[in-house]
Amino acid sequence: MNGVANVDCRHDFVVVIPVADRPQHLRDCLDSLVELCRRYPYGGRIMVLIADDSRDPDSIGQHRALAGAFGRQGLATHYLGQAEQIALVDRLPPELRGRLAGVIGACAPDAFHHKGASITRNIAYLWLNRLPADGRKRLFWFLDSDQEFRVNLETVEGESLDYAVDYFHALDRIFSATPARIVTGKVVGDPPVSPAVMAGNFLDDVLAFLAEMAGVPAGAACTFHGGPSRPADDAAYHDMAELFGFKASADAYRYRCPILGAHDHAGCFADFAGRLNRFFDGEHPTRRSYYRQDDLMAGIKPARTIYTGNYVFTPAGLDWFIPFADLKLRMAGPTLGRIIRAELGDAFVSANLPMLHKRTVDAIGQSEFRPGIERDSERVDLSGEFERQYFGDVMLFAMVRLTEQGYPASQPDAEAIAAVVDATEAEMRGRYSAKHGQIVARIDRLDALFSDPARWWQRDARLAEACHAWRRFIANMRDNFAEDSRAWQLIEASANRVARKAAIGAAIGRYRADRAAWRAALEQA
């Protein structure tokens, strides 16, 4: 990709990385940034801001040390620890802090951790707003700590990771040659959504894999190779892709075995077993997305969704904080995107500049930290994340309906907002319930197929560990998606549903007031 010829006219970048208890993810992210800058030297200034929301003192120490270590490598890095975040908030007048509780939270100084990614991003906005003006053009780039500045490419041999995108020159070109004020990219590799909304199609693929395995000899050469895999474009990993305007896939995706060299079906079976339980951290081994290169400027399109793990904006974009942050629901980015689209129109665009998304750390086979998930050695409880996903969808699609009616420029009264939230939640409950029934049926079919004592994997002592992984997967699927799962109990609980809907409605109703308070906070700098 060609950059802008005049180096002095290039934008400076502040890369903002919110992080919570993920030192290895953060190290990998920063390593990839250093390598990107080595391969594609950029004329403008690049600075990194690490906004720490960790609870574990060891993680905090490691994050701070990483900031220092990469700074000594020449990567200008600032560590925004919790003490500095508290100081930023305390700079605001007490009355204004109270008005901004829904935006920057109201955490006590001794519990200023795990505030949530949205609150942490908004506090980082306050820090960015205080940067001194020096007459240079500046862009702010927010990403997630479990991403890297490279992409995955599909090859004949399988997946290859490469630095195929010259991000800084490309973004500089977009903001120099177009009226864009906010640009969102996407991710490739692991999906950006919760397992709560991928269980149905993943079970389809797992069932297809196991059924095919049942019909081939264990010791025969592996046949799960050859030909390109089906790329998981257009939200193919999402059980309700049609909600987002995509066509849902009716067919299962065939697993593409990544093992190189000679091996048999038993080896493939065991390898797949080792990947199964990573699904609960958000991996999807059958529906991965790959980078597809196209012309940079031709790939710029009007956007409606912010990917909070990959979005870039001019200083004027600080006006659009992450809304409803105190609710700690998922889908905050898509919700914000609908508001920005309603207000900015064609100055809000998407570009084909994805980043590599890696949900897990290879050394431990799972994510270092994910909010709303509890686990021990055998069990994973997704109920917290599942509930946040469900009501996040309610929040998002209530916003879709309201922006179609002119919101936020036109403000409905509280009763009208409540009616939209109620109707949206009823629709979501119907959709989730239908998918839930299908998922339970698939779990039963998978359990019956796997547990059949006549199957060759049940009779091969070498596959004992692999079979244990399969049983663990099936048990965790039941724990999280069966009729009596904790997640469904939370969603179906009347008191929780009433409280969540009321909180969503109230947050939507106070958005104008939040916006006014936020603008006052930005003027404090």
Tokens 């049609």 label which residue? Answer: 242
Residue 363 neighbours by CB distance under 10 Å: 8
Kindly state the tokens that stand for 95. Answer: 């009355």
Using an 8 Å Cβ cutoff, are 139 and 12 in contact? yes
For residues 146 and 144, give the distance between their C-alpha atoms in angstroms, rounded to a whole number: 6
Q: Are 170 and 54 in contact (CB under 8 A)?
A: no
Give the per-residue pLDDT at 421.
98
Report the predicted TM-score, pTM, of the whole model to 2 decimal places.
0.93
Please tell me the distance from the alpha carbon of residue 486 to that of residue 5, in angstroms, as a whole number. Answer: 58
Whole-number Å distance between alpha carbons of 126 and 97: 12
Cβ contacts of residue 441 below 8 Å, gap of 6+?
Answer: none
Question: What six digits make up the tokens of 479?
Answer: 């724990």
In the prediction, which pLDDT does 2 show? 34
* Segments in 381-524 forming alpha helices (H): 383-404, 414-451, 464-481, 486-492, 494-509, 511-522
| Residues 6 or more apart in contact with residue 57 via CB below 8 angstroms | none
What's the pLDDT score for residue 224? Answer: 94
**Alpha carbon 70 to chain centroid distance?**
25
CA-CA distance, 417 to 414, in Å (whole number)?
5
Q: Distance between CA atoms of 377 and 95, rounded to whole angstroms? A: 47
Q: Are 296 and 354 in contact, with CB atoms under 8 Å apart?
A: no
Cα(302)–Cα(341) distance, rounded to whole angstroms?
A: 8
Strand (E) or helix (H) holding 182: strand 182-184
User: Nearest CA to 326 among 123, 186, 145, 36?
Assistant: 123
Per-residue tens of pLDDT for the chain, all 525 residues: 333 334 457 999 999 999 999 999 999 999 999 999 999 999 999 999 999 999 999 999 999 999 999 999 999 999 999 999 999 999 999 999 999 999 999 999 999 999 999 999 999 999 999 999 888 999 999 999 999 999 999 887 778 999 999 999 999 999 999 999 999 999 999 999 999 999 999 999 999 999 999 999 999 999 998 755 565 566 788 888 888 877 776 689 999 999 989 999 999 999 999 999 999 999 999 998 999 998 999 999 999 999 999 999 999 999 999 999 999 999 999 999 999 999 999 999 999 999 999 999 988 888 899 888 888 878 999 999 999 999 999 999 999 999 999 999 998 999 999 999 999 999 999 999 999 999 999 999 999 999 999 999 999 999 999 999 999 999 999 999 998 899 999 999 999 999 999 999 999 999 999 999 999 999 986
Q: Dig out the tokens for 243 from the structure.
A: 């909600």
